[in-house]
Amino acid sequence: MKRCEIIVLLVVIQTLLSSLMAIDYYFFVQFSDKHDSPYSTLQPEAYLSSGAIARRAHFQIPVDSLDLPVNPSYVNQVQATGVKIHSQSKWLNGVTIHTADSNRIQAIQSLSFVTKTQFTGRMNATPTAPQRSKWAHSTDSYGLATNHTVQINGNKLHEQGATGKGILIGVLDGGFKNVNLNPAFDSLRTSGRLIGAVNIVDPGKDVYLEDAHGSSVLSVMAGRLSGNYNQVYTGSAPDASYWLLQTEHVPSEYLFETDFWVRGIEFADSAGVDVINSSLGYTEFDDAGMNFSYSDMNGTVSRASIAAGIAAKKGIIVCTSAGNSGNLPWKYISSPADADGIITVGSVDSNGNASGFSSWGPASDGRIKPEMVANGGSTGIITPEGITSYGRGTSFASPVIAGFTACYLQLLYEKKKSFSIEELIHSIILTTNLRTSPQAQMGYGIPDFAALPELAPTHLKQLKSTIEGVNIQLDPAHRILHLHADDFSSAMSCSLLNLSGQVILSKSITSTTTELNIDLLPPGIYLLTIRSEKGQLTRKISLY
């Protein structure tokens, strides 16, 4: 070979090697404001779907400045520095950028509207490390959905015709291998309920060729098979519609994945989803300098947690896995599981005992986490090959709860019930087996969907009375005190006090039946006092 040919070959090889080893550096860029935006809260149809607008209208949630996209002028000026815009966050008012030249961030920092930049990780153009599993799960050669369904009486919702019909669920995960081919999702595809699939991490890659974790998670909700015994399966929300959003970069663990997650949930909000399931969590990263601490798990530090809390305020039910660190040095919940206003789901086995791997609460600010648990010790799943099996991890407990909560949401809509997302979550917590004594690893415990007010007849708890002719009943499901007085000719009154003696509610008893609405009171122990000319009665009441 001639010398010139060798030189050319070496140049080609060097160029190829350089391209293979090329590294992109990722940063989050925070903007100061949304001034001079071309968008208006008076014209939300320019940036929100009809479904997103309808959800806000149903829950009487106004369109506000958080809903406005980031200022396009700011985005253009950042891009003009020579970096690439990966994604934008309207709620956090910033952008994620990536560049092969990390020094370009200095030009961005000098822009007047930029208040903060943060390095969030690096990504090889062609990953050199093998993909690694970041989710605790295992599979066997068989599996059914029966155990995890019956454990929380989710089948009772299905028996009422509540199967998720008309509810749109967004799934944030790490890939959805073979969902476009898997027979378990035939009805999902043919009925047009697979609304779309987006790769947030790398828009050029097909989510159906990516990691298998998301497809297994989806199967817990949307899977449906019929055939021999081992191939019968019904997911928790088999008739719901779905958006599939890949936000996880499987080969690595860097802070930019929390920003991908933010982009995913904002996309879901704009698309009009009603429910989110996220079986992802973040605590420690490949760069230890990015690690969260337990004190950070308060819902206000991680951008993913902040976004999850905002989504709840936008009328979305957000369900997320607690994490699988229960047996590890980091044993606590992860982000975004620490978010306020969402449902964080831990794991139990088929006997209702806490799974050792299930991450512990509470949130670092003392809030009860997880809110509830489901079977993640042996959850029935469907593999990407269309075979029923078992999965292990809070990743699979979360879609159990998310799916049946979607069914409950359908039921409330059909019954034209007036409710808020907070009230819906609270009504489920009222059915849990540990609601009066929550535990660090199980929260309020296992829910019983058959005990929801819309499914179960109201069971009134009789409270003993020592005043003749006075009958006291507590309706724990609807949180109402019923007072019945045979003779109310004498002056009678009732008061509800906290344990410090402060009067919370008071009412005169002027008819045979009096109702005291206690639905807005926080959980705790209260004192009910009834006074009449015949005497005074005080009773302790536990509200959960």
Extract the tokens encoding 535.
């005497």
Mean pLDDT highest for which of 264-268, 411-415, 479-483, 513-517?
264-268
Q: Distance between CA 360 and CA 543 in Å, rounded?
A: 24
**287-296, 315-324, 471-480: least confident range:** 471-480
Q: Tell whether domain 146-451 is in CATH 3.30.2290.10.
A: no
For residue 20, give the H/E element and its range: helix 3-21
Average pLDDT, the chain: 88
Extract the tokens encoding 331.
């044993």
Any residues with CB less than 8 A from the CB of 150 and at least 6 apart, and which?
none
DSSP for 414-481, written as a single string: HTT----HHHHHHHHHTT-TTTTS-BTTTBT----GGGSTTTSPP-PEEEP--STTEEEEEETTTTEE
pLDDT tens digits for range 195-205? 999 999 999 89
pLDDT tens digits for range 207-225? 999 999 999 999 999 999 8
DSSP for 152-200, written as a single string: TTTHHHHHTT-S-TT-EEEEEES--TTTTT-GGGHHHHHTT-EEEEEES
Residues listed for the chain: 544
pLDDT tens digits for range 424-464? 998 899 889 998 889 999 999 999 999 887 776 555 555 55
Decide: 540 and 526 in contact? Cβ < 8 Å. Answer: yes
Higher pLDDT, 173 or 9: 173
Question: In which residue are the tokens 């969902």 written?
Answer: 179
Higher pLDDT, 182 or 134: 182
pLDDT tens digits for range 53-63? 999 999 999 99
Q: Tell whether domain 461-543 is in CATH 1.20.1440.120.
A: no
Mean pLDDT (whole number) for 169-177:
97
